[in-house]
Amino acid sequence: MDIVKMPNREQEKKDQYFQRKIAKRMGKAISDFELIEDGDRIMVGVSGGKDSLALLELLALRRKFKKQNFDVVAVHINVLELPYEVDREFLKAFCERLDVELIYRDINVDFERPSKKPACFRCSWHRRTTLFKMTDEFKCNKLALGHHMDDAIETLLMNMMYQGAICSMPAKLSMFQGNIILIRPLILLKDAEMREYSRIRKFVLEKELCPHQDVTKRKETTKMIERIAGDDSRIRTNMFRSMSNVQSEYLPIIPDKI
């Protein structure tokens, strides 16, 4: 006799509540930073990872249920020289369910050419440049990326440690004389929250096969933050808040050369 597994109603309620919480948090970022306006045509960069899939789904659902008048286009940039894989059939079905146009674009990145820049920087630069060009090509006025709070914290620390500068990832950035507005609707959400959202939604994620992925400064910075923060969620939140609480009178004025 087959055993029929009954659905866990209590867990389903918790998952639904969590999804609403995530959508509400993204909505707060959209409202607080004025990220979306009626008439916007938004290109979403979709890598196939958890953050970009969540961003695409949440924006598409917001367009549907909030009755906000904006359009969404999804773009996946495929670097031919890298051995990672994205499930194209899943991504196609995912976008069809959301009623979102999906565009693939193959690009080449010459990793063999000598460069002082690390491979991940060059890959990211080429992807971003392609996205900017495609934003214009498909007449989108905004480009949405799936960066979250942890990404912003990591970038802050990396710039402090390796560039001697205090800068990070703004929620909204005007570029190219205002022709493109870069937005980050997930900026108030943490990586752990995005992982849980991905688990609940059962996303089919890209296979991470890049040979450079484990030797980056960002990976090192992520591990450093994990060691510092431990289980204390306040630390990440406070690090993020510090970027809008700069008390310059208590900072030393440093000469150009020390």
Q: What is the pLDDT of residues 50-61, one digit of tens each?
A: 999 999 999 999
Max Cα–Cα distance, the chain, nearest Å: 79
- The rounded percent of the chain whose pLDDT value lies above 90 is 68
- 46 known member of a binding site: yes
Confidence grade of residue 16 (pLDDT, cut at 50, 70, 90)? very high
Q: What is the mean pLDDT of the chain?
A: 89
pLDDT at 5 over 60: no
pLDDT value of residue 4: 47
- 151 known member of a binding site: yes
What fold characterizes domain 26-244? Answer: Rossmann fold (3.40.50)
| Contacting residues for 253 by C-beta, under 8 A, at least 6 apart | none
pLDDT at 118 over 80: no
164-198 pLDDT per residue, tens: 999 999 999 999 999 999 999 999 999 999 999 99
Angstrom CA distances, 166 to 53, 67, 69, 104, stand at 30, 38, 36, 35
pLDDT at 149 over 90: yes
Domain boundaries, the chain: 26-244
**At 148, is the secondary structure helix, strand, or coil?**
coil
Q: Are 41 and 70 in contact (CB under 8 A)?
A: yes
- 39 known member of a binding site: no
Confidence grade of residue 80 (pLDDT, cut at 50, 70, 90)? confident
18-70 pLDDT per residue, tens: 999 999 999 999 999 999 999 999 999 999 999 999 999 999 999 988 777 89
Instruction: Report residue 107: phi and psi, to 5°.
Output: -135, 160
pLDDT at 115 over 80: no
- 183 known member of a binding site: no
Window from 54-63, 107-116, 236-245 with minimum mean pLDDT: 107-116
pLDDT value of residue 126: 84
Q: What is the sign, positive or negative, of the torsion defined by CA atoms of 186, 191, 195, 196?
A: negative
- 198 known member of a binding site: no
- 75 known member of a binding site: no
Cα(64)–Cα(202) distance, integer angstroms? 21
Burial 95-118 (b: 16+ CB within 10 A, else e): beebebebeeeeeebeeeeeeeee
- 77 known member of a binding site: yes
